[in-house]
Structure 1
Amino acid sequence: MRTTRLAAAVAVLALTATACSTKAGPADATVGTDGVRTGPGVTGSTITLAALTDLTGPYASLGKSIVNAQQLWADQTNAAGGICGRKVRIVVKDHGYDVQKAVAAFTELQPDTAVLTQVVGSPVVAAIRQELNDRHLLALPMAWPSTMLGQPYIQVVGSTYDVDMITGVDYLTRTAGLVPGDRIGHVYFEGEYGENALAGSKYAAAQGKLTLVEQRIKPTDQDLTAQVSALRQAGVKAVLISAGPKQTAALVGAAAGQGLAVPVLSSAPGFAPQLLDTAVGPALERQLAVVSAIPPVSAELPAMRVLVQEYQAKYPGAPVDSGVASGWSAIQVAAEALTAACAAKDLTREGIAAAHHRTAALNILGVPMAFSDLAEAPTRQAYILRPAKGATGGLAVAEPAHRAPAAAGYAYPKG
């Protein structure tokens, strides 16, 4: 009898809690005069977004372009009346790729933020991951490891590092004539970025019966002579690199110096157009390819041509690089989520995230993406790009966006 009464009491409490939750929602939610429920970062007149970026560290040039592109969107949106009758503002904090600084900046920003429209760096995302989930704060990282998939409040925009390496190995196999038994090298940063890329290259090498020669480096390493020497002695026919622009330049420069005239393929974060103005520029144009889910700013796509034209008009003289396209792509995801959340009259953090995950199809700069499956990246397609000094942004399309055959059956590693 006592057990029956206890079970009944628990059931009543559960029903009461559910009813209260449905009616009242989050404790910090309020309802505006327009009937829209609002949460942190949203008032009756303003939606506050935030950016944790790198303006002074190794990705400073890209960080500045990302910030500029997102501010361009905010200015255009406000000129058109804002979102949900509210003006949009973006608060920017520079962490210089220092995780401690980034965590401190996040602590300062998060109480008054509706969405994090950019978080530069996998280590930074890893450091605040739990807080993002605990605070129900949607974040759009400028990082693409598949270990971030499955997180309800972290959204990768594009393909992931591991799938990009599968695409890259497919490209090198076709263009460099790789055959079973050949060796390929992979130089990669220690940590989530490089190790996630390595998961993809290992899978692709196994599929193609290739031997992978690994060379792990630190983000502080800038002389890759020893690594290139090891790869040359191993007799590699091609090299993958998942690192920063300085390391890509160091690798290609050392390879040229040692006579290792093999193709090199980089993840998108490993290239910056400024490299083409250095002594290693000609070697980069000869040997390097770049894999990216986001089209280059030189792409002959109507949406991209408009973006570049408007960006150059607002920021005359500023470099137009891949950061422009990446920043614009991420802010389009945020804009879609905010617009859908407004239509549902729920601009709480939970409402924004829920609206985002209802986005089954979104075309971003000509790339179709879907966000309704938490466990899947929005796309497994990627472009192959080639450095070209005469192209806007320093990259031109070598192959259009496509999904490599081996990428279709690839299972992401557990995060």
Structure 2
Amino acid sequence: MNHPTHRTRTVLAAAVAALLLAGTGCSSKGDGGSAADGADGVKAGPGVTDKTIKLGALTDLTGPYATLGKSIVQAQQMWADETNAKGGICGRKIEIVVKDHGYDVQKAVTAYADISPDVVALPQVIGSPVVAALLDDIERDKVLTFPQAWAASLLGKDAVQVIGTTYDLDMIAAVDFLTRTKGLKKGDKIGHVYFEGDYGANALEGSTWAAGKARMKVVGQKIKATDTDLSAQVSALRKEGVKAILISAGPAQTASLVGVATSRGLKVPVVSSAPGFAPQLMDTPAAAALEAMLNVVSAAPAVSADVPGVQKMVAAYQKKYPGALVDSGVLSGYNAAQLMGADLKKACDNGSLAREDVVAAHRSQNDIDTGLGSPQDFSDMAKPASSATYVLRPDAKAVGAMVNVEDAHEAPGVKEYLAAKN
């Protein structure tokens, strides 16, 4: 017999899957980079000629983060076009070579082998497991890489830069938010639903530490990326009597969690990591529950934020890609591209666009601000570039379907946590 709640979950899962798996692919194969010094006296290397600087993007255009990947690719191409219209960098035009790995680690490894000889740096690599699989190769090749992933396990590598906060810091901020604004107190239980792997494990580390400091208990529920019906997890958390739920997963899992919890009367606050929300969720049956229950912790502001740099970027993106979704990927991708551009300009000023010198130029930046969020400090590879976190909430009427609730701030205990880890 099909109960109404079962039918609701089925419709919800189908709607979310249809929205979140939409994406388009694109790729290009560039000419090999020159290892000779340029005619202008600037030292060159792979991905650099007298006329071009080639960058690479290992993205997801056909897997679970396809929509995000498309936004990042388009935002970074917009940056490249804007940069080239102003004369490029170091007198050279920027080209971005895009490869789709579909969130498949083996495909990503193959794609990296394909493009790495021809690029100087990677301003985009989507996925903690993907970056983890490529770490040794990236370090060996000295290819400056900006992951679209925020696991603390990616820290400590000279050529790899996590931009903003890591997942553990976000969850420390989430627990602080719950205690300050949602009435959680000593002795309460907090559920935490999390993906297996570096993403979820790092997030759980932060929530467990913060809950311990507040004398609360975390009830963990580990899931796989293929799990899109969280009925069993909601039942377990309801039985435990949790007063709030953290989720470190994807948008489909967030929608299922909130939708099922609502249908079963578990109407508690839910806080997600940034990768757990997508604007398309506001077109699903879970929309009302998301607006009522969900907050999102993020290293970046909402794209609807009243921040001049963000508003300028959104206007330019909407003009270049009419009708395209403006989501967090646009901001994240554009910010990463601007930061990469600053590194390339500094390397050029230092007289070398060789890979190792681009990395060195990057590590010399200790207070860089693109106007799109918090300032970044890249000087210590063992620490996140920022420890300040925004709190957002869904709003179907806003650009990107999110609005700021709290501006960026460092949660109490973050310095203590980082000092203990380092």
TM-score range, shorter chain: over 0.9
Alignment partner of 1:270 out of 276, 283, 291: 276
User: Following TM superposition, where does structure 1 have runs of at least 4 consecutive aligned residues deviating by more than 4 angstroms?
Assistant: 412-415
Q: Tell me which of 101, 104, 113 is aligned to 1:107.
A: 113
**Residue 314 of structure 2 corresponds to residue 308 of structure 1:** yes
- Name 1:169's counterpart in structure 2: 175
5+ residue gaps in structure 2? 1-33
Shift of 1:360: 1.1
Please state how far the C-alpha of 1:67 moved relative to its aligned partner.
0.4
How far apart in 2 are the matches of 1:388 and 1:412? 37
Provide, for residues 125-163 of structure 1, a one-character-per-residue CA deviation record: whole Å limited to 9, x for no partner. 011110000011111000001111111010001100000
Tell me the alpha carbon deviations over residues 184-234 of structure 1, each in whole angstroms, 9 at most, x when there is no partner: 000000000000000000110111000110000011101110100000010
Greater shift, 172-181 or 404-413, is seen at 404-413
Show CA shifts across 1:364-415 (max 9, x none).
Answer: 3142111111111111001000000001001000111110012121138879
Matches within 5 A, 1:7-406: 29-364=35-370, 365-406=372-413
Structure 2 Cα separation of the partners of residues 71 and 51 of structure 1? 11
What CA distance in whole angstroms lies between the structure 2 residues aligned with 1:414 and 1:109?
35
In structure 2, how many angstroms separate the alpha carbons of the residues matched to 1:411 and 1:76?
Answer: 38
CA contact (8 A) 2:35 2:48 kept: no
Say whether the 8 Å CA contact 1:146–1:412 is kept in structure 2: no
Shift of 1:178: 0.9
1:214 and 1:220 map into 2 onto residues whose CA distance is: 18
* Matched AA of 2:86: A
CA distance in 1, matches of 2:404, 2:163: 20
**In structure 1, distance between residues paired with 2:214 and 2:334:** 36
Equivalent-residue separation in structure 1 for 2:377 and 2:271 (angstroms): 27
3-state SS, counterpart of residue 375 of structure 2? strand
Alpha-carbon distance in 2 for matches of 1:37, 1:43: 10
Letter paired with 1:231: L
- Give the alignment's TM-score, normalised by structure 1: 0.92
Q: Give the AA of the match of 1:145.
A: A
The one-letter code of the counterpart of 2:140 is D
1:60-85 Cα distance to aligned partner (Å, 9 max, x none):
11100000100000000000000000
- Offset, 1:29: 4.3
Question: C-alpha deviations, 1:318-366, integer Å up to 9, x for none?
Answer: 0000000000111111111100000001100001000000001111314
SS at match of 1:269: helix
- Contact 1:147 1:413 (8 Å CA) reproduced: no
3-state SS of 1:249 partner: helix
Distance of 1:268 and 1:334 partners within structure 2: 22
Give, in whole Å, the separation in 2 of the partners of 1:83 and 1:410. 39
User: Residue type of the partner of 2:415?
Assistant: A
Q: CA RMSD in A?
A: 1.2
Report the secondary structure of 2:237's partner residue. Answer: helix
2:108 and 2:383 map into 1 onto residues whose CA distance is: 27
The structure with the largest alpha-carbon Rg is 1
8 Å CA contact 1:152–1:374 kept in 2: the answer is yes
Q: Can you list the C-alpha shifts for 1:10-30, whole angstroms capped at 9, x where unaligned?
A: xxxxxxxxxxxxxxxxxx843
Q: Is the 2:281–2:287 Cα contact (8 Å) retained in structure 1? A: yes
Superposed displacement of residue 296, structure 1: 1.1
User: CA–CA distance in 1 between the matches of 2:342 and 2:363?
Assistant: 10
Find the aligned partners of 2:291 and 2:227 in 1 and give their Cα distance. Answer: 23
Work out the percentage of aligned pairs sharing the same amino acid: 57
Q: Which runs of 5+ in 1 are unaligned?
A: 1-27
Residues 302, 403 of structure 2: 8 Å contact kept: yes
Q: Which amino acid aligns with 1:312?
A: Q
The aligned amino acid for 2:175 is: V
CA contact (8 A) 1:157 1:329 kept: no
- Name the CA shift for 1:245/1:412 in 2 (closer, same or farther; >3 Å): farther
Q: Secondary structure at the match of 1:386?
A: strand
Change (3 A) 1:412 1:256: farther
Aligned-partner SS, 1:363: coil
**Equivalent residues of 2:126, 2:147 under 8 A apart:** yes
SS of the equivalent of 1:134 reads helix
Once residues 297 and 87 of structure 2 are traced to their aligned partners in structure 1, the CA distance between those partners, rounded to angstroms, is 37
CA distance in 1, matches of 2:274, 2:335: 15
Secondary structure of 1:367 counterpart: coil
CA distance in 1, matches of 2:421, 2:405: 32
CA contact 1:361–1:368 (8 Å) conserved in 2: yes
- SS across alignment from 2:295: strand
